[in-house]
A and B are shown apart, each in its own frame.
Chain A
């Protein structure tokens, strides 16, 4: 486990859990939950500064940038053009090339618009961004994203914020066979076992926000997710036994008293 690092665009990470910073009641709780999660990559959104009310605290006052890698997202973008603009602004604000690219299809499902996603990814890769795209659990699209030059692919486990878990493990398995870049399940996780399932399938990481921030005790859930991702990874590396329909005795058959 010691040497089992996650490598994204040549950058090494020990933790395979990535967490969002949204939906917390306050920044103090958020910081505690992030700490408990053990995550090294945290996602943030890019939004207009409120011109008329300057009283709001800055998110960055609560995130130690020496400890965490910021992953700005393009949440709320419905076209390649808006997503590309947002990424350029994010790079300027954060001085890093890492972006979580999401181009949404509709407000109800928040499913990706893959056509626009591919378009945006193409432009951003050319401009030198390290692109981590949120995508459907579609092996063909994932392969295309890899071929464009994305540093990872981030298929959804279920709709954003739904907590439905890993709805299509078979697609994830095909994606894992189709691409060589890291596969990070982004969205859909509801509880610890969901994260463990993703990792046991062989995924390289899991990204989540609502499952932690929306839990009754976010700090405890963050710790649960930390353990689940590590447990799932370890189980994957350990190699599980095959599923069999019938029993195999664990105790010797010989020497049973008569």
Chain B
């Protein structure tokens, strides 16, 4: 079990890869963008990037705005 900080919330997970973790959170990877430890994580790397204990994720998407 590892502890991941995602969008400011702490989550426990057994997911190995970022793509698995997104699935666990029911997040469609297509419309989102992700920062892993403050660096952009390109979409093509979701499936191969391993999550480590203490990692920080920001998962964002577009919302209404002016």
B and A form one assembly? yes
Residue from the list A20, A51, A209, A213 in contact with B9, Cβ < 8 A: A51
Q: Out of B11, B58, B64, name the residue touching A22 (CB < 8 Å).
A: B64
Interface of A is mostly: mixed
State whether the Cβ of A247 lies closer than 8 Å to any Cβ in chain B: no
Contacts of B61 on A, CB cut-off 8 Å? 46-47, 49, 58-60, 93
B14 at interface, CB cutoff 8 A: no
A167 part of interface (Cβ distance < 8 Å): no
Stretch at the interface among A84-92, A117-125, A142-150, A228-236: A84-92
Name the interface size band of chain A: 35 or more
> Given that A48-B60, A49-B27, A89-B58 are known contacts, is A43 also in contact with B65, CB under 8 Å in the complex?
yes
Segment touching B, from A7-15, A69-77, A248-256: A69-77
Give the chain A neighbours of B65 by CB distance below 8 A: 20-22, 43-45, 73, 75, 209
* CB pair A51 B64 closer than 8 Å: no
Distance of A103 from chain B, by nearest CB (Å):
15
The answer, yes or no, to whether A52 is at the interface (CB within 8 Å) is: yes
- Smallest Cβ-Cβ distance to A90: which chain B residue: B33
- A89-B58, A210-B66 known; 6 other A-B pairs, CB under 8 Å? A44-B62, A60-B62, A75-B65, A88-B35, A93-B33, A160-B66
Q: Give me the interface of B with A, judged by CB distance under 8 Å.
A: 6-9, 11, 25-27, 31-35, 38, 40, 42-43, 58-66
Among all A-B residue pairs, the 3 with the closest Cβ atoms: A45-B65, A20-B66, A209-B66
